[in-house]
């Protein structure tokens, strides 16, 4: 009997271990059961999507590895036109910026190198603002004081003398961090779910962040027929429909536009500001492409400048605007430099914002140093000035030519329509997809433009982002591509694109 009981206990223990093992295996591990699973994790993170780095990009990376391993494809390289990463597409760094960063990173070079005198002066100035004279120390959470001062002076010059206050400047790890820090202020549900108005098409940072924060996305459509204009009647339609679902609290405007490449007129900005005032909305002005304006007759106007020039009561409105070292002529995406200027914020709310960002300690100091080179560049007559201006001008002029080249080429392809790329770094063409291709996409469980993008990738190595990832007017299909490939590679890419599209239409007609 004793032996039987021992055997029975052994069988029960064995069965229990087996069940635990099975449970652990179901959770993706051979060890103990996982504490956090898809069923009990934050549902907002499961909801959020970020198409710019989505499944197409994952597949593009796989293809790169397959090519490196010797796989035979109808192409020899992957062209990642999915993201605005200038240096990855062959753009050369600005010499002044990199020389300053070299000295800030390794101060011993200041006295040993033959770098220009103004580069050394800039490096010393930045290091003097660093605790312990080292870029390896933490800065204040809002950023190094002298760099915030230079940013305020830059904004004042940019806006024709309208003053900016260094205390309104918050340096951040790229504009994205600044945008997310501002959006989080609106997460408050006592009077209903908060809503934020965003353009459709939009940069997926906004839809992803709103989903993550549990906030309602209020989409307003840009007007493709009039060059992606932002029409106030559409804003009014959008907010009227949203009021029955959520509590609208803020309005996001991207100017110059991403993914659409439009540049808003001053009159249009005035109309938008007046709409936001009437509806009691906080304005978030995403202006990271302010240097990237190409089209004749187009001109960048900051929301802050227009708001201040309108005078009372508009000049007391709450506004946050954003700038970045990742775009413009700099393209320093990996260094993560940016700032937000937050004006007319309630003092107690501003204190809460600063408290919130302090939990992240500080933005990268090398990113801050990069921003300092942008907002306080070489001055006329200084040793670095001529080369700086030449490099800056060359980049922007080349981008302007590529903006025309890409729109003209797409408009020459039957079934593709592309508005002029007035600014920013992208085109967002509309494509006509044959009915049979739409059916083939449904059979695969894909949106038609996603199906098109995968076919393009597998046949040409060109990686784009389907319009589904940005939002688009129902019944239309688009894709976003950067204009960043260098001119020679862009010409090759566009030739491949044209050949693919013709064959795709023939295949599915």
State how far the Cα of 307 lies from the Cα of 155, in Å rounded to an integer.
14
State how far the Cα of 337 lies from the Cα of 329, in Å rounded to an integer.
14
User: Is pLDDT of 226 > 80?
Assistant: yes
The mean pLDDT of the chain is 88
Q: What is the pLDDT of residues 487-506, one digit of tens each?
A: 999 999 999 999 999 999 99
136: pLDDT confidence band, cut at 50, 70 and 90? confident
* Residues 105 and 366 sit within 8 Å (Cβ to Cβ): yes
362: pLDDT confidence band, cut at 50, 70 and 90? confident
Task: Give the angle 171-177-181 at the CA atoms, nearest 5°.
Answer: 95
Q: Specify the DSSP class assigned to residue 258.
A: T
State how far the Cα of 206 lies from the Cα of 215, in Å rounded to an integer.
11
How are beta strands 282-286 and 319-324 bridged, if at all? parallel
How many residues comprise the chain?
509
> Which of 127-131, 385-389, 467-471 is modeled with the greatest confidence?
385-389
In the chain, what are the domains? 2-41 (no CATH), 51-89+389-508 (3.90.1150.10), 175-324 (3.40.640.10)
- pTM score, whole prediction: 0.85
Q: With residue 480 as reference, give the H or E element that holds it.
A: strand 479-482
The pLDDT value recorded for residue 1 is 38
The pLDDT value recorded for residue 386 is 96
State how far the Cα of 75 lies from the Cα of 71, in Å rounded to an integer.
10
- Among 430, 410, 442, which Cα is nearest to 479's? 430
- Which pair of structure tokens corresponds to residue 478? 């688009």
- Measured over the CA atoms of residue 457, residue 505, residue 445 and residue 74, the dihedral's sign is negative
Mean pLDDT of 454-466: 92
53: pLDDT confidence band, cut at 50, 70 and 90? low
Q: What is the pLDDT of residues 184-218, one digit of tens each?
A: 988 888 878 899 999 999 888 898 889 888 899 99
The pLDDT value recorded for residue 190 is 83
**Neighbouring C-beta atoms of residue 17, cutoff 10 Å:** 10
Cis ω before 458 (30° cut-off from 0)? no
User: Is pLDDT of 66 > 50?
Assistant: yes
Strand ranges, E, within 353-453: 416-417, 426-427, 430-431
Q: What is the pLDDT of residues 77-135, one digit of tens each?
A: 888 888 888 898 889 999 999 999 999 999 999 988 899 999 999 999 999 998 998 88
The CA distances from residue 155 to 322, 345, 370, 391, in Å, are 11, 18, 16, 22
- Among 280, 256, 269, 252, which Cα is nearest to 305's? 269
Tokens 């400048």 -> residue = 305
State how far the Cα of 346 lies from the Cα of 320, in Å rounded to an integer.
13
Q: With residue 251 as reference, give the H or E element that holds it.
A: strand 247-254
| Alpha-carbon torsion, ordered 203, 207, 213, 217, to 10 deg | 130
Q: Specify the DSSP class assigned to residue 91.
A: P
Q: How many CA atoms lie within 13 A of 491 on its CB side?
A: 3
Tell me the three state secondary structure of residue 338: strand
| Alpha-carbon torsion, ordered 419, 421, 424, 430, to 10 deg | 30
30: pLDDT confidence band, cut at 50, 70 and 90? low
Burial, 84: exposed, middle or buried (Cβ in 10 Å; 0-12, 13-18, 19+)?
A: buried
* Residues 117 and 126 sit within 8 Å (Cβ to Cβ): no
Work out the percent of the chain whose per-residue pLDDT is above 70. Answer: 91
User: Is pLDDT of 366 > 60?
Assistant: yes
The pLDDT value recorded for residue 57 is 83
The pLDDT value recorded for residue 192 is 84
Longest Cα separation, the chain: 101
User: Is pLDDT of 4 > 60?
Assistant: no
Q: What is the pLDDT of residues 341-352, one digit of tens each?
A: 999 999 998 988
* Residues 210 and 180 sit within 8 Å (Cβ to Cβ): no
Tell me the three state secondary structure of residue 248: strand
13: pLDDT confidence band, cut at 50, 70 and 90? very low
408: pLDDT confidence band, cut at 50, 70 and 90? very high
246: pLDDT confidence band, cut at 50, 70 and 90? very high
Burial, 140: exposed, middle or buried (Cβ in 10 Å; 0-12, 13-18, 19+)?
A: middle
The pLDDT value recorded for residue 12 is 39
The pLDDT value recorded for residue 119 is 95
Q: Specify the DSSP class assigned to residue 293.
A: B
Tokens 């001008």 -> residue = 393
User: Is pLDDT of 336 > 70?
Assistant: yes
* Residues 504 and 455 sit within 8 Å (Cβ to Cβ): yes
What is the edge-to-edge ordering of all strands in the sheet holding 247-254? 169-172, 338-343, 319-324, 282-286, 247-254, 194-200, 216-221
User: Is pLDDT of 462 > 60?
Assistant: yes
- Alpha carbon distance, N-terminus to C-terminus of the chain: 79
User: Is pLDDT of 31 > 80?
Assistant: no
């Amino acid at each position: 009997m004793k032996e039987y009981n021992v055997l029975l206990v052994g069988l029960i223990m064995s069965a229990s271990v087996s069940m635990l093992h099975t449970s652990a295996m179901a959770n993706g591990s051979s060890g103990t059961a996982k504490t956090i699973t898809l069923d009990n994790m934050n549902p907002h993170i499961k909801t959020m999507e970020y198409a710019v780095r989505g499944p197409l990009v994952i597949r593009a990376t796989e293809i790169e590895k397959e090519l490196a391993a010797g796989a035979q494809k109808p192409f020899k390289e992957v062209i990642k036109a999915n993201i605005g990463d200038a240096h990855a597409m062959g753009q050369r760094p600005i010499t002044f910026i990199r020389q300053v960063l070299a000295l800030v990173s390794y101060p011993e070079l200041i006295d040993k190198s033959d770098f220009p005198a103004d580069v050394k002066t800039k490096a010393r100035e930045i290091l003097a603002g660093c605790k312990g004279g080292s870029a390896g120390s933490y800065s204040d959470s809002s950023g190094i004081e002298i760099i915030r001062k230079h940013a305020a002076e830059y904004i004042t010059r940019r806006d024709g003398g309208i003053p900016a206050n260094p205390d309104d400047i918050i340096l951040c790890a790229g504009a994205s961090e600044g945008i997310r820090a501002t959006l989080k202020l609106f997460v408050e549900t006592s009077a209903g779910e908060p809503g934020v108005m965003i353009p459709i098409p939009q940069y997926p940072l906004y839809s992803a962040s709103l989903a993550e924060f549990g906030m309602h996305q209020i989409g307003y459509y840009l007007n493709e027929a009039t060059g992606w204009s932002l029409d106030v009647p559409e804003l009014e339609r959008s907010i009227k429909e949203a009021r029955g679902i959520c509590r609208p609290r803020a309005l996001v405007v991207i100017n110059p536009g991403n993914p659409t490449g439009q540049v808003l007129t001053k009159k249009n900005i005035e109309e938008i500001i007046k709409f936001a005032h009437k509806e009691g909305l906080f304005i978030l002005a995403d202006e990271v492409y302010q240097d990237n304006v190409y089209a004749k007759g187009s001109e960048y106007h900051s929301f802050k400048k227009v708001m201040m020039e309108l005078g009372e009561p508009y000049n007391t409105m709450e506004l946050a605007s954003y700038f970045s070292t990742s775009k413009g002529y700099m393209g320093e995406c990996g260094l993560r430099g940016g700032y937000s200027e937050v004006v007319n914020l309630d003092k107690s709310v501003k204190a809460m914002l600063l408290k919130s960002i302090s939990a992240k300690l500080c933005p990268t100091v090398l990113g801050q140093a990069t921003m300092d080179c942008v907002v306080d560049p070489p001055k006329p007559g200084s040793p670095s000035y001529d080369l700086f201006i030449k490099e800056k001008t060359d980049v922007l002029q080349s981008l302007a030519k590529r903006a025309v080249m890409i729109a003209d080429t797409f408009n020459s392809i039957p079934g593709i329509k592309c508005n002029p790329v007035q600014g920013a770094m992208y085109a967002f063409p509309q494509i006509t997809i044959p009915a049979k291709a739409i059916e083939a996409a449904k059979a695969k469980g894909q949106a038609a433009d996603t199906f098109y993008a995968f076919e393009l990738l597998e046949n040409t190595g060109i990686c784009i982002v389907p319009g589904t990832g940005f939002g688009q007017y129902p019944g239309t299909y688009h894709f976003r591509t950067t204009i960043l490939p260098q001119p020679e590679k862009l010409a090759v890419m566009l030739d491949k694109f044209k050949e693919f599209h013709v064959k795709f239409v023939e295949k599915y007609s």
